[in-house]
A and B are shown apart, each in its own frame.
Chain A
Amino acid sequence: MTLVQILFLLFGLVTLLASLMVVTSPKLVHAAFWLILALAGVAALFILLEATFLAVVQVVVYIGAIAILIIFAVMLTRRVMHDTGPQVNRSWWVALLVSLVLFGGLVLMLAQVPALAGTPAPLMVDQETLLEDLGRALVDADRYVLPFELASVLLMASMIGAIFVARPPSGSEERSGER
């Protein structure tokens, strides 16, 4: 067992346990904080995969922005500090059975893919110029420039959509127009 394998098992276990706690915590606030731990575990897994840029992006965007957004969204609902009732209903064993069967099926299918059967080969990228290649690929006319620009349009659309949905009703607009 190499060090990398031990670390992978450790971080994978942490991520799995944290995700389990996210869905089973009775209090929403606890669930939000377990989610942060799960996201941090994923960032550590990215580092083990030598995707260092993705790891810091994961922390910056997911933990630094989206987790805060989720906590704010949780606070927008009422009764957030209270117990939200039992976490399972009466037929939880059916759900457990179905998910185990699905999991077994998926594992069997994936085990037949030759690329995943053994240890994956190391990344074929040069760590020195990784970021530069990524940057150039994002604006290269033959490669990813269209998704790059579409991403910005998508972000703008989400901004406009969110404000359109979330802004105060038009009554308050009349009030602010008096100034």
Chain B
Amino acid sequence: MDFNFQDPFTSIGELLRGLLLGWGLAPGLVSLILMLLGALVLAGFAMTLAGVFLTWLDRKLAARIQDRLGPNRVGPFGIFQPIADAIKLITKEDIIPEGAERAIFKLAPMLAVMSAVGIWAVVPFAPRLIGTDLNVGVLYIVAVGAIGTLSIMMGGMASNNKYAMLGAFRTVAQMVAYEIPMVIALLVPTMLAGTMGVGGIVEAQRGGWFIVLAPVATLLFFVSAMAEAGRAPFDLLEAESEIVAGYNVEYSGMKFGMFYVAEFLHGVTIAALTATLFLGGWLGPGAQQFPLLGLVYFAIKTAFVYLVISLIRFSMPRIRIDHLLAFNWKLLTPLALAAVIVTAIADKLAPALGWNRAVVHLTANILLAWATFEALRAYARGIRQRVEVQPAAVETGGAD
């Protein structure tokens, strides 16, 4: 079997399969072993990417934006800094506070990592390179994300610490609140693609990326996913100045390291999901014949979205919890519901009006965004009038 350079992934798969079958193993077992190898590669790649590369990138980027240098001692440009950090964390004493529930305390960081890695099973890297194209891919992503929320709750409650519990509850309240606009916004690509499978959604974007067809839904998903992952400006969960690192205050050593890595992995997973569901995943010129090119496109789009997330993180102040929740329940959820309704009606109107489908959707989204802005302006005007009337009343009251 000659190596097909145009499609290296399938060729490697065939090579390995031929090798294992040649050793005399049953075909079912061979598939199982190949899947296990794939799972190991995927999990290892995800952990290495998040743990080693992204933490370095995060610190360097933060430093440069804040007009300082960042890590630059350990290796060229400080690239080995995360490895030094990992060694430090591993050699720290593993302290489990007295009164903590030991089993749950140890399980929580593992579940957090499992939740972040599990999402990568349905992300299509290239035309024929996907862990498994589940027919319920989108809901599977939501389900595995929910396990992550649960792991934080477990970590906080198992710590036998008031502040950890408070932090865990606030974290869960925030994550759970922002899950709603995220899930409802995910209805839009499902509607436009006619399938919940992520591979199918990418294929359906050949005619046009969904960011063009549904910009409101893209923005909604992007913002809610950022808030659900606990990235700034929604990072009240781990605000060191407020509730002392929240749910992971009692965690030290590698358990804390696992929470930390899981958080970064969650961040890049959101970037990958936005790129896949709304920016066309591996689609691009020439991606069909050269799957490697598809992988490159996917990586570029994910990196771009991740850079946008990081830039937002280092530029904006933290949002207070009551503003956070009001923003979600009073703006994002109604907007998400409206976006679904508008998309549903617009797509059925498109053949009736005879316009191009993309134009109809874009117009409908622009109208929806304009209506939202007008509503927000009216609300702000109301607040301003109230504030301006009150000082006048105080003046006349204090005049006599």
Contact = CB atoms under 8 A, between A and B. Distances in A.
Direct contact between the two chains A and B in their complex (CB within 8 A): yes
Interface of A: 29-30, 33, 36, 52-53, 56-57, 59-60, 63-65, 67-68, 71-72, 75, 127-128, 130-132
Contacts of A72: 169
B154 A60 contact: no
Looking at A36, A64, A68, which has the most chain B CB atoms within 10 Å of its CB? A64
Interface string B109-149: 00000000000000000000000001110011011111101
A63 B196 contact: no
Contacts of A63: 143, 146-147, 150
Contacts of A128: 135
User: Which interface residue of A67, A128, A131 has the most chain B CB atoms within 10 A?
Assistant: A131
A71 B153 contact: yes
Contacts of B249: none
Contacts of B172: 68
B176 interface: yes
B139 A64 contact: no
23 contacts: A30-B101, A33-B104, A52-B134, A52-B135, A52-B136, A53-B139, A56-B139, A59-B143, A59-B147, A60-B143, A60-B146, A63-B143, A63-B146, A63-B147, A64-B142, A64-B143, A64-B145, A68-B149, A68-B153, A68-B176, A75-B169, A130-B135, A131-B195
A64 B136 contact: no
A165 to B, nearest CB: 19
Given A29-B101, A52-B135, A130-B135, A64 B140 contact: no
A160 to B, nearest CB: 16
A131 B104 contact: no
Nearest to B144: A59
B157 interface: yes
B113 to A, nearest CB: 17
Contacts of A30: 101
B92 to A, nearest CB: 27
B134 A59 contact: no
A57 B143 CA distance: 8
B150 A64 contact: yes
Interface residues of B, number: 25
B229 to A, nearest CB: 15
Contact of A64 (B101, B134, B147, B157): B147
A128 B135 CA distance: 8
A69 to B, nearest CB: 9
Interface string B184-223: 0000000000111000000000000000000000000000
A113 B142 CA distance: 39
A152 to B, nearest CB: 12
Greatest chain B CB density within 10 A among A68, A75, A128, A130 is at A68
Contacts of B140: 56
Interface in B346-393: none
A133 B144 CA distance: 25
Given A33-B104, A33-B154, 11 more contacts: A30-B101, A53-B136, A56-B136, A59-B144, A59-B146, A63-B143, A64-B145, A64-B146, A65-B146, A67-B150, A71-B157
A33 B105 CA distance: 12
A29 B157 contact: yes
A57 B195 CA distance: 16
Contacts of A59: 143-144, 146-147
Enumerate the 9 nearest inter-chain pairs by beta-carbon distance, A residue then B residue, closest first. Answer: A64-B146, A59-B143, A56-B139, A60-B143, A56-B143, A56-B136, A56-B140, A52-B136, A60-B142
A176 to B, nearest CB: 13
A144 to B, nearest CB: 19
A53 B195 CA distance: 12
B64 to A, nearest CB: 38
Contacts of B149: 64, 68
A131 B146 contact: no
Contacts of B143: 56, 59-60, 63-64
Interface string B79-102: 000000000000000000000010
B103 to A, nearest CB: 9
Nearest to B158: A29
A59 B140 CA distance: 9
B162 to A, nearest CB: 11
A65 B176 contact: yes
Contacts of B194: 132
A12 to B, nearest CB: 21
A68 B135 contact: no
Contacts of B147: 59, 63-64
A60 B176 CA distance: 11
B223 to A, nearest CB: 20
Nearest to B157: A29
Nearest to B137: A56
A56 B149 CA distance: 16
Contacts of B179: 64
A127 B133 CA distance: 13
